[in-house]
Chains A and B, each alone.
Chain A
Amino acid sequence: MTDFITVNTYWTLWLLAHLLLAVTLVGALTHQAVAVALPVRKVAGPAGFVTRYRAVPPVGYATAVCILWVLTFFVGSYIYTKYRIFIRIPLEQGGYYKTGGFFDFKEHVSTIGLLMLPAYWYFWKNAQNPQYDSARKWTTIVLCAMCWFLFIVGHVINNTRGFGS
């Protein structure tokens, strides 16, 4: 691989892939969480942006969310090896302990989110069953909150020492 691109470019491309997958995941989960938490009633007049944002059919996102979470998780796990050597050690040397701590927080949250996916998928694939309405709603909202947390921490880490470093 290094015959074609530099090592730095190779890892930067993987970091970008992680970012793009995460953006897609956070977008899909937010649409779904908003749609399930604040469902849209039929409107007589023209729907505004917020109403249209909430009006997506949330069932269709479930499998995509699971696939995106797993893909983002795998790519993140791959680049994590480089983080441990080339990012975390300089962070500690620079005294960025809160940033490092929040990254470790992120790794735990990403695994717990991964473990929630089978039930999340099952609840959405049985969306017509009112028995799962509450669990489906809160599982989706918690997963969405986790995803935003992971995204923001990843963003801050990248700003501290990430892209191109």
Chain B
Amino acid sequence: MNTTSADTTGTTARAKSATASKTSLASSAKFKTFAITFSASGALAYCLIQFFNFPLVTYHPATHRLVWGYEGPRPGEGPNMLWYGWTLTALIVCSVLGVLAMMLPERISAKIPLALIWLLPILAVPYIVYSLMPWWVQAASH
């Protein structure tokens, strides 16, 4: 493969496509602040919500019962499911943080490190593995 130019086909196409597809939402400074804050806080918010166990709802799949907040499994009603509740709480928390960040002056909101968006999900992995310890302990002892 001979390289003849520093320009890339991908970059050229990317720039043309980006110009054509840029929407008003994508050019909005407010949306930028919201999106970056929402995503930067996502992994941390979700891990904290899961750690402190703050589900918005609890679902009981055997009885199709949905209740607000946390409710443990009840005798004769099968298991409970918390993941829906954790996800909904995380969506609300991140949305609130995003809206609050939109109210800040841009000189402050612009200082949010963009690397948090991809770095925190990687850093969350050891915590997630730790939070699933009962599974690994049972697997080791089985």
Show the binding face of A for B, using Cβ within 8 Å.
35-36, 39-45, 47-48, 51, 54-60, 63, 77, 80-82, 84-85, 88-89, 95, 97-98, 100-101, 104-105, 107-109, 111-122, 124-128, 132, 134-135, 138-139, 141-142, 146
Contact = CB atoms under 8 A, between A and B. Distances in A.
Contacts, number: 179
A51 B136 contact: no
Contacts of B26: 121-122, 125-126
Given A59-B14, A80-B81, A97-B142, A112 B124 contact: yes
Contacts of B124: 108, 112
B61 to A, nearest CB: 4
A86 B49 CA distance: 27
B83 interface: yes
Given A105-B128, A119-B117, A42 B5 contact: yes
Contact of A60 (B4, B21, B90): B21
12 contacts: A40-B9, A43-B2, A44-B4, A45-B1, A60-B21, A80-B83, A115-B46, A115-B90, A115-B94, A125-B22, A127-B15, A141-B118
For A41, A88, A124, the residue with the greatest tally of chain B CB atoms inside 10 Å of its CB is A41
Interface in B29-69: 31-32, 34-36, 38-40, 42-43, 45-46, 50, 59, 61-62
Nearest to B59: A81
Contacts of A39: 8, 10-11
B72 interface: no
Interface residues of B, number: 67
Q: Is the interface of A mostly helix, strand, loop or mixed?
A: helix
A114 B90 CA distance: 10
B80 to A, nearest CB: 9
Contacts of A115: 38-39, 42-43, 45-46, 90-91, 94
A146 B131 CA distance: 18
Contacts of A111: 46, 83, 86-87, 90
